[in-house]
Amino acid sequence: MITLLQTVTILLLVGWPAYNLVVAVVGMVGTRPGRRATGDASSLRFWIMIPALNEERVIHRTVTAALALEGPGGPPRVLVIDDGSSDGTAAILAAIDDPRLEVLSRKEPDARRGKGEALNAGYRRIVEIAEAEGTVLSTVVGIVDGDGRCDDRVLHEVGALLTDRGVGAVQCRVRIHNRDRILGLLQDLEFGCIANASQSLRDRLGSVGMGGNGQFVRLGDLTQLGPSPWSDCLVEDLELGIRLHLAGVRIRYTSRASISQQAVVDLSRLVRQRARWAQGNLQCARYLPGLSASRRIGTVALLDFVYYLLAPWFTVPLTLFVLAAMGFAVVGLSTGETFGGLTAGREAATWAVGLWAVVLVLPGLLWGLVHWWRLGDEPLRRCLVAGLAFPGFLVLGVFATWRAVVRHARGRRSWAKTERSAEAPVLPEIPAPREPVEPVPAEHR
């Protein structure tokens, strides 16, 4: 006889691997080379904005990489917003001699008021230039974080999608370039495979989310949001995407081109970063009434918005249930206790523990195989090790979400910038990944 605990456990746990399987299949199908947009994008003019606060360890490679790009209408112009850096960022930028580079230096008290305010200042400068040149409608603004590296296809792929006048924004795939450690590879698994598959599915549903790295928006569509498109939200990139959806702007996702960024390889900093992202999702939940009332948001897309905006709240009761179920199973396995019929003794507890073990391990191994097969730039052994470590990575996310919920309930919003890892100062060339490549989610850390 199946007990209540077993029934609930089956419903809960079968859904998790089934969801991963569906998303993996949709993601793999969605990233196969298909019909490419063929319109003429040569009239588009690209600006790349790079917000920078104490980025001396990475800014040289990021800026020179952006300047090396080629777009359908020529190379982009680059605007770096130095948001009151106190390290060597300003000196490094001053040493880069290129007429296409402009540095907007902000000083306190205007500076250091968050990434959103830095982006707004840069946006207003680009609007000023575009209005003087009469190019507002043909200008596209891309956002690259201080650690971002676009591959050489990005501007052409984004331009191809924007030849459809119904498309106002594009989000590119995100990869991790310092994945020599397993923690870095786990984040590449998360962004390059799982987030890529989810975004590919959302591209079909009409609910693509925007990330800080690799988002491109028509300047004309940004002007619909006023002089300050970005806010002080902890996930200002995700919020911008929601506001664009509400304004009727279609957002596309491409896995054909990617932008890579640094992984956070310190556990405490990683938990802090993910807690900030989770708290930002909680802040964005205030848009759910507007999304529900909007005729521009389809029913399935709305369900997706509800899912990822409320997921942090669901994590708390779900975690409590999981811990209780595992506790009952372990005690039942060791003592044969049935807890008044809640479990069915030692045999049922053995069955439950085995099911939990399979469910926890199977999705990670699935995504490890997807990484090895679809991206082809890591050996199978490392991908399988990352897959086996994936449950632990999820546990870190649970800790981060609990922290986010507590902070949100207490009204705490301030966050320290995530420190970058040091990199070599010279960028010889950015190799294009073997597979067209990609949440999440970015920061003014």
Structure tokens at 8: 């609930």
Q: Which fold has domain 36-289?
A: Spore Coat Polysaccharide Biosynthesis Protein SpsA; Chain A (3.90.550)
Angstrom distance (rounded) from CA 50 to CA 243: 21
> Which residues touch 353 (CB under 8 Å, ≥6 apart)?
329, 330, 333
> Which residues touch 58 (CB under 8 Å, ≥6 apart)?
146, 147, 262, 420, 423
pTM recorded for the entire structure? 0.85
Distances from the Cα of 381 to the Cαs of 28, 140, 363, 434, in angstroms? 21, 41, 16, 19
Q: How far is Cα of residue 207 from the mean position of the Cα atoms in its chain?
A: 14
CB–CB of 139/177 below 8 Å?
A: no
Place of tokens 């106190």: 86
Beta partners for residue 175, in sequence order? 260
pLDDT of residue 82: 97
**Could you give the 3-state DSSP secondary structure of residue 98?**
coil
pLDDT of residue 439: 39
pLDDT of residue 227: 94
Give one DSSP letter per residue of 135-176, joined into a string.
-GGGEEEEE--TT-EE-TTHHHHHHHHHTSTTEEEEEEEEEE
CB–CB of 114/444 below 8 Å?
A: yes
Angstrom distance (rounded) from CA 396 to CA 252: 30
Selection from 31, 21, 8 nearest residue 257 by Cα: 31
pLDDT of residue 317: 80
Dihedral pair phi/psi, residue 104, rounded to 5°: -100, 110
402 residue type, one letter: W
Q: Where are the domains of the chain?
A: 4-23+305-409, 36-289
pLDDT of residue 418: 74
Distances from the Cα of 130 to the Cαs of 46, 134, 283, in angstroms? 11, 6, 33
CB–CB of 161/247 below 8 Å?
A: no
pLDDT of residue 32: 47
pLDDT of residue 442: 43
Structure tokens at 245: 């959806």
* Residue-by-residue pLDDT tens, the chain, 445 positions: 345 455 555 555 555 555 656 665 665 565 444 445 566 889 999 999 999 999 999 999 999 999 999 999 999 999 999 999 999 999 999 999 999 999 999 999 899 999 999 999 999 999 999 999 999 999 999 999 999 999 999 999 999 999 998 999 999 999 999 999 999 999 999 999 999 988 988 998 899 999 889 999 999 999 999 999 999 999 999 999 999 999 999 999 999 999 999 999 999 999 999 999 999 999 999 999 999 999 999 998 998 899 889 888 888 787 777 777 666 666 666 666 555 555 555 665 566 666 777 777 888 998 999 999 999 999 999 999 999 999 899 989 989 999 999 999 898 887 777 777 766 544 333 344 444 434 334 444 4
**Could you give the 3-state DSSP secondary structure of residue 103?**
strand
pLDDT of residue 428: 35
Burial (CB count <10 Å: 0-12, 13-18, 19+), residue 413: middle
Dihedral pair phi/psi, residue 78, rounded to 5°: -125, 130
pLDDT of residue 426: 41
Q: Beta-strand (E) ranges in 16-100?
A: 45-52, 77-82
